[in-house]
Amino acid sequence: MKSRARRKSLSSELEINLTPVIDAVFLLLIFFMITTVFIDVKGLTIDLPSADNAQNQDQQQQKKDVNIQVSGNGEYTVNGEVVSASELSSAIKSAMDINNNRNVIIHGDPETEHKYIVYAMDMAQGQGAEGMAFAIEQSEAETAQ
């Protein structure tokens, strides 16, 4: 009989108290919440047209975008006018003023090096471009796929 009573008392004494474990988990949670750095990543803003803005859409269609074409050897054309790299900034500015639009479309040749595209982007952004789009001409082999 003593052995049975002894077993019951030992099993009742071996309970695990979870309160300190829960406290430690909460402390770790608070520590990680305080020390975490939240990074605010700026993305692209997209203006989607709404169905009730028929007049606004007509006005948007009347505006002309500024088209910058970059050839494979780094020659720039702004709205059909060939310009040198040093004149690109002023040509973009005047095209934006004439078209009354701050949106720029950069057309790149598939053979164009990235540095020429990035230079055109920098010049457009320096002149206050609000939106940029990129276009490339696909070869016949790419369109067949």
**First-to-last C-alpha distance (Å) of the chain:** 86
Helix (H) or strand (E) holding 85: none
The total domain count for the chain is 2
What's the rounded mean pLDDT across residues 46-52? 66
Chain segment 64-82, per-residue pLDDT in tens: 788 898 988 888 999 888 8
With beta carbons less than 8 A apart as the criterion, state whether 83 and 45 touch: no
Helix (H) or strand (E) holding 13: helix 2-13
What pLDDT score does 16 carry?
Answer: 80
Confirm whether 60 is domain-assigned. yes
* Pair 125, 63 in one domain: yes
Chain segment 132-142, per-residue pLDDT in tens: 888 876 666 56
Which residues span the domain enclosing 19?
2-35
pTM: 0.54
Chain segment 6-23, per-residue pLDDT in tens: 566 555 667 788 889 999
* Pair 63, 100 in one domain: yes
What lies within 8 Å, CB to CB, of 78 at 6+ separation is 66, 67, 68, 69, 88, 91, 92, 95
Confirm whether 64 is domain-assigned. yes
What pLDDT score does 71 carry?
Answer: 87
Q: How far apart are CA 81 and CA 123, in angstroms?
A: 16
pLDDT of 130 strictly over 60: yes
Residue in 137, 129, 81 with CA at minimum distance from that of residue 107: 137
Chain segment 70-118, per-residue pLDDT in tens: 988 888 999 888 898 888 888 998 888 888 888 898 888 888 888 888 8
What pLDDT score does 30 carry?
Answer: 93
What pLDDT score does 57 carry?
Answer: 56
What pLDDT score does 26 carry?
Answer: 95
* Pair 31, 77 in one domain: no
With beta carbons less than 8 A apart as the criterion, state whether 118 and 81 touch: no
Q: Tell me, what CATH number does 62's domain have? A: 3.30.420.270
